[in-house]
Structure 1
Amino acid sequence: MDFIDISLLDVIDVLVVALFFYQVYRLIRGTAAMTIFAGIFIVYLLWVVVKALNMTLLSSIMGQVIGVGVLALIIVFQQEVRRYLLLLGSRYSKVKNRFVRRIFRSAGRNAQVLWTEDVAKACRDMASTYTGALICIERQGDLEVYASTGDIIDARIDTRLIESIFFKNSPLHDGAIIIKQGRIHAARCILPSSDNPHIPQHYGMRHRAAIGLTEHSDAVVVVVSEERGKISIVEAGEITAVADPAALGEKLGRILSA
């Protein structure tokens, strides 16, 4: 019974394919690309059935379509491919720099605690006055392309400065600020808006922009809602409401140290 002869290599092959499809699902779930991928997968299954039935002409035509479809997939899923490559690069960089971070952890950690607390206090103050804010914190991925859409200020992180930037009559309030290497690098920056159709309706354009940036990079974004006076943290396309604003600084420190 050769047809049930399964080797260890076959098991590994199946597990690798399953892992690949799981990672693809994680990348495209909740986006319009999910429907497109499902359609392409159905076409591929149909091609396999046609080949198994030895329908030569139809199999040849579908084979050509699927062969060209690889290029089409790269074009259609360019954002998802970019996110996946960024994710791999970020993980590699974290592993590569882990030893260096351990050596300088104590000094870097003390400096980080100071500015994360300044950011947290500014967010709490703005939430209490229903002042909208969008604060992007750069990690491994470079955000210079988004910083270039705003005004470079390169200033020390300070609670009053952040509140002044997002004050409704300030010329810099409309947009996001980008924090880079422990400093406010740029303000009034334009972020890419997410096209995820499953974002709850009560989230406005500010939250969509935060989700959009974290879909394209490994940045962490803090959002203060102008309408509801609530604080949220966005990471990897996932938005989480901050239940305890008093612990925001500590939570930011944990996320950035991970």
Structure 2
Amino acid sequence: MSFADFDFLEYLANIVDILLVWFVIYKLIAIIRGTKAVQLLKGIFVILIVKFISDYLGLNTLSWMMEQVLTWGFLAIIIIFQPELRRALEQLGRGRLFSRSGLQEEEDEEKMVEAIIKATDYMAKRRIGALISIERETGMSDYIETGIQLQSRISSELLINLFIPNTPLHDGAVVIQKNIVAAAACYLPLSESPFISKELGTRHRAALGISEVTDSITIVVSEETGNVSVTRNGELYRDLSGETLRELLTAELVSPSRIKQAASTRWNWRGKKNG
């Protein structure tokens, strides 16, 4: 090998080193995102900024205080965040440290499906009208802005409460974005398709309308019959059972690694189509 080859290998090793460091940092941020550790990091950055400013301005006392905080703060962090550190080390031992973010997302998706199933079953039995639209690849921010912003963790109790008749937010659609209830009382575009059954009302037309302009999945509970319908890609599927709805939402919304053994991953069931 020539010296040029050694220089190239050293240059390549530096690039790989930098990329690996960025990858580790990205994964660590993904792991702590949404946890109380985020607030801790913000506090550490504030202390570092104060320390830098105090050193620059010659504020010796303040600088000494910040230095003590940083020196003893790491010990405090170990004590305060002992459960989180232990969990991270356990995941590292299982080889799951860098896959946690994906697993967490799948768990959130499964919880979302369970919450929707439970809420839908409750409202169908009591004939409480509902309209729930789930954002996928196509953004629904324009429709979210027409409603009341919530940005709340999804739960069956919250969904049921939002659609209780004669409450301020019951009229309109609930939009779920990234496993979060983004907004309620949203206005969705009505479908103008001439093939919709005359017995269907505004909720079903709105569900079909949003499915014609986005790739969202929308669930409708009829307040007249209690029947559950779903729209996707401009198609309306009616009178779905709870088990069929569960299979559908799992197949479409839960990450593939969790549904490899699912019996059905296609939109083929005995529901009525478009009336």
What's the TM-score once normalised by structure 2's chain length?
0.54
Which residue in the other structure is 1:223 paired with?
Answer: 220
Does the alignment pair 1:174 with 2:142?
no
The secondary structure found in structure 2 opposite 1:152 is: strand
Q: 2:175 touches 2:184 (CA, 8 Å); kept in 1?
A: yes
Aligned residue pair count: 157
The verdict on how the C-alpha distance between 1:235 and 1:103 changes in structure 2, with shifts beyond 3 A counting, is farther
Q: Which protein, 1 or 2, shows the higher relative CO under an 8 Å CA cutoff with sep ≥ 6?
A: 1
1:126 to 108, 123, 127: 123
Separation in 1, partners of 2:144, 2:225: 27
Counterpart contact for 1:119–1:249, Cα < 8 Å: no
Aligned runs of 1:1-258 on 2, under 5 Å?
105-257=102-254
Cα distance per residue 1:123-171 (max 9 Å; x no partner): 0100000000000000011101001111001011011111110000210
Q: Residue 122 of structure 1: CA displacement?
A: 0.2
Distance 1:243 1:192 in 2: 23
Partner Cα separation in structure 1 for residue 163 and residue 240 of structure 2: 22
Render the CA deviation track for 1:210-250: whole Å, top value 9, x for unaligned. Answer: 00001011111000011110001100110112532144233
Q: C-alpha displacement at 1:115, in angstroms?
A: 1.2
Deviation sequence 1:167-210 (CA, Å, 0-9, x none) = 00210000000000001000000000000001111211100000
Pairwise CA RMSD? 1.8
Residue 106 (structure 1) shift: 3.8
Instruction: Name the CA distance, whole Å, in 2 between partners of 1:162 and 1:111.
Output: 16
Alpha-carbon spacing, 1:233–1:146, altered in 2? closer, same or farther (3 Å): same
What's the TM-score, normalizing by structure 1? Answer: 0.58
Residue pair 1:139, 1:218 contacting (<8 A) in 2 also: yes
- Return closer, same or farther for 1:241/1:204 CA change in 2, 3 Å cut-off: same
Any conservation in 2 of the 1:130–1:227 contact (CA below 8 Å)?
Answer: yes
- Paired residue type of 2:122: D
Aligned position for 1:4: none
Which range moves more in the overlay, 210-219 or 248-257?
Answer: 248-257
**Contact preservation (8 Å) 2:228, 2:241:** no
Q: Is the 8 A contact 1:134 1:221 kept in 2?
A: yes
Contact 1:176–1:191 (CA under 8 A) maintained in structure 2:
yes
Give the counterpart letter for 2:206 in structure 1: A
Structure 1: runs of 5+ lacking an equivalent: 1-101
1:117 and 1:250 in contact (8 A); partners too: no
Stretch moving more, 241-250 or 156-165: 241-250
Query: Is the CA contact (8 Å cut-off) linking 2:207 and 2:231 kept in structure 1?
Result: yes
| Cα distance in 2 between the residues matched to 1:256 and 1:242 | 20
| 1:64-89, Cα deviation, whole Å (9 max, x unpaired) | xxxxxxxxxxxxxxxxxxxxxxxxxx
For 2:205 and 2:225, locate their aligned partners in 1 and report how far apart those are by CA, in whole Å: 15
